[in-house]
Amino acid sequence: MDEKQEPGKVNGITRRGFIAAASALAMASTTGGWLRSASAAGSIELPRLPYPENALEPVISAKTIGFHYGKHHQGYVTNANKLIAGTDLQDMPLEKIVQATAGKADKAGIFNNAAQVWNHTFYWKSLSPKGGGKPPAALLKKMEASFGSLDSCLKELASAAATQFGSGWAWLVQAGDALKVVKTPNAENPMTQGMKPLLTIDVWEHAYYLDYQNRRPDYVAAVLDKLVNWEFAAENFAKA
């Protein structure tokens, strides 16, 4: 303990305050975890990153993930919670908020922030330190039926990601009976148009600029080669 520590204080917190904080933490662990408690000001939470910040190196640096997750994703969570506070959207599940505000000009701020929370959570899961390679058999078969081959599907994804003008996302989706590749601008999400997302790649500059500067196609190629999480896409496909 610090020699200057005041009596009755632990790291500047009074003992009473410390006990209150400790019991709040204990309660949080029985009601869904610390993150739920940490974002108690609103119903939208910043989910845990599924891997350490440096786990995607060398394709995506820890520095990029640190900003992307810790500043951008967190920022969307904070803004979305502020914007829904006191409205009828306050206690809705995130996906419902996205659906309820899509295409509504007077709800654009809420949509943009809520959809960006959803999109980023989905993006982290779309990547894996052990990604790349071949998709599981059932998904691969469907990809071959829809695109002709895995390679054609990868080319379409790479092209969609490279050609999305400005900020946005490239997606592998299930649309009716087939798989498709689509791209969306800004915070848009294909689920608002009745499609089921299986996988996404963030092509906002904040996703790659520190590591690749203006070379977006190199970032996309490396992600598709080394990080893309086919297991996650296959889980979503199985639920579609």
| Number of residues counted as binding Fe ion (CB under 5 A) | 3
Stretch that binds Fe ion, among 58-66, 179-187, 203-211, 217-225 (CB under 5 A): 203-211
Nearest-approach distance from CB 105 to Fe ion, in angstroms: 23
Report if residue 202 touches Fe ion, rule: CB under 5 A: yes
Q: Which among 10-18, 28-36, 102-110, 206-214 is the span making contact with Fe ion, rule CB under 5 A?
A: 206-214
Q: Residue 130's closest CA among 232, 35, 217?
A: 232
Give the one residue of 67, 204, 212, 219 binding Fe ion; rule: CB under 5 A.
Answer: 204
- Do you know the residue count of the chain? 240
Residue 99 or 167: the one with the smaller Cβ distance to Fe ion is 167
Stretch touching Fe ion by CB under 5 A, among 29-37, 94-102, 140-148, 194-202: 194-202
212 counts as binding Fe ion under rule CB under 5 A: no
Q: How many CB atoms lie within 10 A of CB 95?
A: 13
CB of 2 to Fe ion, least distance (A): 40
Integer angstrom CA distances of residue 104 from 100, 108, 191 = 8, 6, 15
Nearest to Fe ion of 187, 234 (CB atom): 187
**Interface with Fe ion by CB under 5 A: which range of 29-37, 52-60, 82-90, 200-208?**
200-208
Stretch that binds Fe ion, among 4-12, 74-82, 97-105, 198-206 (CB under 5 A): 198-206
DSSP code per residue over the chain: --TTPPTTEETTEEHHHHHHHHHHHHHHHHTT-HHHHHTTTSS---PPPSS-TTTTTTTS-HHHHHHIIIIIIHHHHHHHHHHHTTSTTTTS-HHHHHHHHTT-GGGHHHHHHHHHHHHHHHHHHHB-TT--SPPPHHHHHHHHHHHSSHHHHHHHHHHHHHHS-SSEEEEEEEETTEEEEEEEETT--GGGGT-EEEEEEE-SGGGTHHHHTT-HHHHHHHIIIIIB-HHHHHHHHHH-
Which residue in the shown chain puts its C-beta closest to Fe ion?
Answer: 202
Which CB atom, from 119 or from 236, has the smaller least distance to Fe ion? 119
Place of tokens 């960006």: 116
CB nearer Fe ion, residue 122 or residue 204:
204
Q: How far is the CB of 142 from Fe ion (least distance, A)?
A: 27
Site string for Fe ion, 145-184 (x = CB under 5 A): ----------------------------------------
Phi, psi of 64 (to 5 degrees): -60, -50
For Fe ion, which is the closer residue by CB, 67 or 147?
A: 67
The residues binding Fe ion (CB under 5 A) are 202, 204, 207
